[in-house]
Amino acid sequence: MAVLTLVAAVGGILNIDCIKKTACSCEINGDIIDLTPLANKNNTPRFKDVQGTEPGSQFSWNPCYPFSEGVGCTNVSACQKQVWATYAIGKQESAEFINDPINGLTIHYQAIDTVGVIRDSYVSIDCGPNEGDLTAQGEVGQAKYYMTLKTKYACVAGGSAGGLSAGSILIIIVICAVVVYLIGGVLVMRFVKGARGTEMIPNESFWKSLPGLIKDGGKFVIHGCKAEKSYASI
């Protein structure tokens, strides 16, 4: 059985399930990832003879629709081409969606080649600015082949990969920390120390002096360590 997983990567792996719609599309929380616009429909691969990391080994892939290339690749989704032969490494009908904990959303196909060897191909899908750029890592392990596609069609929520940026996460953490600090401090001051009114504010003296500290900091930034000029009365 083959597996299809998609990586929406902008900023990281999308660790949620993508529910299969077709052999090349799935749904994530109402957003559709659909690779159909990338697919060739004329029995040729959209990405043809992409050089792998191993010399003399090239890879072809087409989403959605099968293609044929050489003697060994007939009606396949993915094909390995070497100097002496071609090997089927995936069939469209074998595609399904999984959530890979390492690679995120990836397409895993499976095929049995002409000599009876079971071969698996994995296409990780990343959100990217262009229509489609495919790179081939090649064979990793026995009869397992890896490729990576960066495409705008994998960007959910109108062109972003979803999720929050590091800056947004930091702001949320700071806000939550301040809220917890204030609420916790007020409760401690009220019920442990018996404070009333503004005395319940934790570190009240600091907060009262904060405007002055900000003012002094602003003066320092503007004037540095220079002493303020003074004029003797005439």
pLDDT by residue for the chain (234 residues), tens digit each?
A: 333 333 333 334 455 678 889 999 999 888 899 999 999 999 999 999 999 998 889 999 999 999 999 899 999 999 999 988 999 999 999 998 777 777 778 888 999 988 899 999 999 888 899 999 999 999 998 999 999 999 999 887 544 444 445 566 778 888 998 888 889 888 888 888 787 877 778 887 887 787 888 888 777 778 766 655 555 544
Give the pairing type, strands 73-76 and 67-69: antiparallel
Q: Where are the domains of the chain?
A: 4-159, 166-223
Rounded to 5°, the CA angle 129-135-141 comes to: 140
Rounded to 5°, the CA angle 134-30-22 comes to: 50
Check whether domain 4-159 has CATH 2.70.130.10, yes or no: yes
CA-wise closest residue to 123 among 35, 213, 30, 231 = 35
Please state the separation of Cα 106 from the chain's center in Å: 11
pTM for this model (two decimals): 0.62
Spatial distance between the Cα atoms of 174 and 136, rounded to a whole number of angstroms: 41
